[in-house]
């Protein structure tokens, strides 16, 4: 049984109790895992999935956005998640959202040139 199957089984058995746990974990985050699609997934896997979706161009934007949103919620200390979410929001013309994500990436990692470059491009 893999993690996805275990989480689905736990949801069926524990119902609202496990749902509350997943919701809390999504808010708090974890060093290695985030909640996405109601299951715990490795942060690195979600990031790789988002980047792979971005490589598809516009056809992958919805999937990439889903991944990066999961990272910004579930891994609030992961600056790269905010950066990628901001870069994608910029591509989609969501400038105010892009600025918010870029500012958070810079707050988390002030010396990163790419993060500063995104913020400068959004001014």
Which pLDDT score, from 0 to 100, does residue 10 have? Answer: 78
- Cβ-proximal residues to 112 (8 Å cutoff; 6+ apart), any chain: 79, 83, 105, 106
User: Does the pTM exceed 0.85?
Assistant: no
Residues of the chain with pLDDT under 50: 29
Residue 120, SS3 per DSSP: helix
């Amino acid at each position: 049984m893999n993690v996805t199957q275990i989480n689905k089984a736990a949801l069926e058995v524990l119902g609202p109790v496990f749902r509350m746990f997943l919701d809390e974990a999504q808010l708090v985050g974890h060093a290695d895992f985030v909640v996405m699609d109601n299951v715990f997934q490795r942060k690195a896997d979600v990031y790789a999935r988002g980047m792979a979706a971005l490589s598809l161009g516009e056809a992958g934007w919805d999937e990439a956005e889903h991944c990066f949103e999961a990272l910004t919620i579930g891994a609030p200390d992961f600056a790269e998640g905010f950066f990628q979410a901001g870069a994608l929001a910029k591509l989609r013309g969501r400038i105010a959202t892009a600025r918010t994500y870029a500012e958070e990436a810079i707050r988390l990692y002030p010396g990163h040139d790419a993060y500063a470059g995104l913020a400068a491009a959004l001014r």
